[in-house]
């Protein structure tokens, strides 16, 4: 283990405090009354931007107090340097389009990375009240029916597998074609879930998520959650996914290998 | 009003009792442990079929007791004739693929129709605990944050609108092309929500849902819920949507008209 269990437990406690704060701030704006339109016909208020900013500000305030020596990389507020070698990676509303449309599959993403990449991750869905957490000391889930095991699916062949991506076009024409090679071999392909699809891989309901053009803050938390639950997350060449871009998340090494081969063409 | 308020209230009470029963039966199977596979590699147990059947059987049992003179049309159990002129239309799990993939956007659909079509509708999402109900005496919502107003969005031009469909291909090549004429004019297009997208129209978060190849039991409840909340649901020619097929649900007559014109080509 790269870090001692006491440090891991401290970081998990802070991560949960950040998620609790972000839950309140984002829910204040989720499904809020209709957007105000000013007299020039311009949208005067953007609820997702308001939720994003309020949640990230509050998370940065807590980190400044409890982890002042750690660096912070946030979707809204950019990078704050640190001296501990640890970086908190925050995406206060992943799935902003879904948030705007009222769907309950956006999420708050919180991760801690060291030089080797993310090793603590938390995916929170505030409206449903679900939290998926992974670290070197385990993978846990809490939801409306209480806590449950967080464990990826056992191996199954690709023709029996369920595959997710957010946008049907995936990315460039070439990326879309690579995705469709995997999709045409899979049993079921579904769209539109943003970070929630990665949570479903960690929880053992979905075999694969394949996306392109991700930002580092989109994938840091899913990497740590899925790896702690027994899965594999890489880029489309099998290398680290921590930089974002083309990402594949798989329930187990077998289906990861099978999908990577099809992505390569 | 086609029916007196006392009858409406009785039917709403029965509809809520059916939804309560279906909630229990479907949740027993939602995200259940991994599918069993027998020694020939065949899936020995299909959780969505089990949920569908258990929920519909229980709803039919309640209807036989409380509304013995009404007809029943169920996705699983077919048609039972009646003498009252009223028909209960049941879809115990709408969005079976989403149910199988663990997403929380499938639903239980319950409607009551007379010769003029559905006039009572209920869309229930058991896992989140959300219920969207519409009838001639009003449109109501209950969810994790308590009850809320159920009212469609006020008019806005199509370039500011949010559009949903379940499958990116929509239907035939011609239907897909018609859909994309609307999608390319809208601000935001999202996929994969099944009946939940119609609930979001009723609740005022989404402007349009456009789908093809629906069954009557897929659309009966959304028609009654959305119409009670101020919206419009028709087929792609502006006629009744109660028969299924090509369906458009709109938040208001203005955006309905604008989208219908683009669907016509």
Contact A103 B128 (CB under 8 A): no
> What is the model's pTM?
0.94
**What average pLDDT does chain B have?**
93
Q: What distance in Å separates the CA atoms of residue A50 and residue A44, rounded to the nearest whole number? A: 11
Q: What distance in Å separates the CA atoms of residue B116 and residue B118, rounded to the nearest whole number? A: 7
- Chain B partners of A164 at a C-beta cutoff of 8 Å? 101
Quote the pLDDT of residue B116: 94
- Chain A partners of B196 at a C-beta cutoff of 8 Å? 103
How many CB atoms neighbour CB A261 within 10 A? 12
Query: Count of alpha carbons within 13 Å of B226, Cβ hemisphere only?
Result: 32
- Chain A partners of B105 at a C-beta cutoff of 8 Å? 103-105
Q: Which residue, among B191, B196, B208, would best test binding to A if mutated, counting the most A CBs under 10 Å from its CB? A: B191
How many CB atoms neighbour CB A31 within 10 A? 20
pLDDT tens digits for range A113-143: 999 999 999 999 999 999 999 999 999 999 9
Interior/surface letters B74-109, b for 16+ CB within 10 angstroms, e for the rest: bbbbeeeebeeebbbbbbbbbbbbbbbbbbbbbbbb
- The mean pLDDT of A202-212, rounded to a whole number, is 97
Length of chain B: 265
Q: Compare CB distances from A128 to B104, B191, B192 and report the shortest one's residue.
A: B104
**First-last CA distance in chain A:** 36
Q: What distance in Å separates the CA atoms of residue A1 and residue A18, rounded to the nearest whole number? A: 24
- The mean pLDDT of A196-200, rounded to a whole number, is 97
With contact defined as beta carbons under 8 Å apart, do B129 and B27 qualify?
no
Contact B190 A127 (CB under 8 A): no
Residue B243 CA: distances (Å) to CA of A9, A217, B113, B148: 57, 46, 12, 30
Contact status of B131 with chain A (Cβ, < 8 Å): no
Contact B191 A193 (CB under 8 A): no
Q: What is the CA radius of gyration of chain A?
A: 18
Helices (H) and strands (E) in chain B, counts: 7, 13
With contact defined as beta carbons under 8 Å apart, do B21 and B62 qualify?
yes
Q: What distance in Å separates the CA atoms of residue A206 and residue A200, rounded to the nearest whole number? A: 6
**Which residues 160-199 of A have a C-beta within 8 angstroms of B?**
162, 164, 168, 188, 190-193, 196
Provide the token pair at B85: 């002129």
Provide the token pair at B215: 């069954």
Q: What distance in Å separates the CA atoms of residue B224 and residue B241, rounded to the nearest whole number? A: 11
| β-strands A232-235, A138-143 pairing | unpaired
In the structure, what pLDDT confidence band is assigned to residue A12 with cuts at 50, 70 and 90? Answer: very high
pLDDT tens digits for range B117-163: 999 999 999 999 999 999 999 999 999 999 988 999 999 999 999 99
Residue A172 CA: distances (Å) to CA of A177, A184, A200, B23: 9, 18, 25, 42
Q: Which of A213, A225, A205, A230 is nearest to A124 (CA)?
A: A225
pLDDT tens digits for range A26-57: 999 999 875 544 444 455 456 778 899 999 99
Residue found by looking up tokens 């000391």 in the block: A137
| β-strands B162-165, B208-214 pairing | parallel
Alpha helix segments (H runs only) across chain A: 5-27, 47-66, 96-100, 173-185, 195-202, 216-228, 253-264
Q: Which of A181, A219, A214, A216 is nearest to A201 (CA)?
A: A219
Query: Count of alpha carbons within 13 Å of B157, Cβ hemisphere only?
Result: 6
Contact A101 B128 (CB under 8 A): no
Sign for the pseudo-dihedral over CA of A174, A175, A180, A186: positive
Is B158-263 the same fold as B5-149? Answer: no
Interior/surface letters A127-163, b for 16+ CB within 10 angstroms, e for the rest: bbebbbbbbbeebbbbbeeeeeebbbbebbebebbbb
Quote the pLDDT of residue B39: 45
Domain ranges of chain B: 5-149, 158-263
Which parts of chain B have pLDDT scores under 50? 36-41
- Chain B partners of A154 at a C-beta cutoff of 8 Å? 34
Q: Which of A151, A145, A187, A189 is nearest to A167 (CA)?
A: A189
Q: Which residues pair with A122 in a beta bridge?
A: A110, A133
Say if domain B158-263 classifies as CATH 3.40.190.80.
yes
Q: How far is CA A142 from the centre of its chain?
A: 16
Q: What distance in Å separates the CA atoms of residue A188 and residue B107, rounded to the nearest whole number? A: 19
Provide the token pair at A190: 């579904």
Q: Compare CB distances from B128 to A27, A104, A192 and report the shortest one's residue.
A: A104
With contact defined as beta carbons under 8 Å apart, do B54 and B25 qualify?
yes
With contact defined as beta carbons under 8 Å apart, do A69 and A84 qualify?
yes
**First-last CA distance in chain B:** 36
Residue B43, helix vs strand vs coil: strand
In the structure, what pLDDT confidence band is assigned to residue A3 with cuts at 50, 70 and 90? Answer: confident
Contact B34 A204 (CB under 8 A): yes
pLDDT tens digits for range B30-42: 998 755 444 444 5
How close A55 gets to chain B, by Cα (Å)? 19
The DSSP call for residue A158 is G
Contact A101 B129 (CB under 8 A): no
Q: Which of B98, B135, B140 is nearest to B119 (CA)?
A: B135
Quote the pLDDT of residue A263: 97
Contact A192 B191 (CB under 8 A): yes
**What average pLDDT does chain A have?**
93
- Chain B partners of A34 at a C-beta cutoff of 8 Å? 153-154, 204
Pick the CATH number of A5-149 from 3.40.50.1010, 3.60.21.10, 3.30.540.10, 3.30.300.30: 3.30.540.10
Provide the token pair at A46: 């953007």
Q: Which residue of A has its CA nearest to B95?
A: A190
With contact defined as beta carbons under 8 Å apart, do B125 and B136 qualify?
no
Quote the pLDDT of residue B177: 96
How close B47 gets to chain A, by Cα (Å)? 12
Please give the ipTM for the structure prediction: 0.92
With contact defined as beta carbons under 8 Å apart, do B242 and B220 qualify?
yes
- Chain B partners of A104 at a C-beta cutoff of 8 Å? 104-105, 128
Residue B233, helix vs strand vs coil: strand
């Amino acid at each position: 283990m790269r870090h001692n269990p006491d440090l891991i437990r401290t970081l998990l406690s802070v991560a949960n405090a950040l998620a609790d704060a972000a839950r309140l701030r984002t829910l204040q704006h989720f499904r809020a009354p209709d957007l105000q339109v000013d007299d020039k016909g311009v949208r005067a208020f953007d609820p997702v931007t308001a939720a994003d900013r309020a949640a990230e500000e509050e998370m940065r305030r807590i980190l400044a107090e409890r982890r002042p020596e750690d660096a912070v990389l946030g979707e809204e507020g950019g990078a704050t340097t640190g001296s501990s070698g640890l970086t908190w990676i925050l995406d206060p509303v992943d799935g902003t389009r879904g948030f705007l449309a009222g769907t309950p599959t956006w999420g708050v993403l919180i991760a801690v990375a060291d030089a080797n990449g993310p090793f603590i991750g938390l995916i929170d869905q505030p409206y449903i009240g679900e939290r998926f957490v992974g670290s070197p000391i385990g993978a846990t889930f809490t939801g409306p029916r209480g806590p449950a095991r967080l464990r990826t699916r056992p191996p199954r062949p690709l023709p029996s597998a369920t595959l997710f991506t957010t946008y049907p076009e995936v990315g460039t024409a070439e990326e879309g074609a690579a995705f469709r090679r995997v999709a045409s071999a899979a049993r079921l392909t579904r769209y539109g879930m943003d970070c929630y699809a990665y949570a479903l891989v960690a929880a053992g309901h979905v075999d694969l998520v394949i996306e392109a053009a991700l930002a580092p803050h989109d994938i840091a938390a899913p990497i740590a959650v899925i790896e702690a639950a027994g899965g594999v997350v890489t880029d489309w060449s099998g290398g680290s996914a921590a930089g974002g871009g083309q990402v594949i998340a798989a329930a187990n090494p077998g289906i990861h290998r099978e999908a990577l081969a099809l992505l390569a063409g």
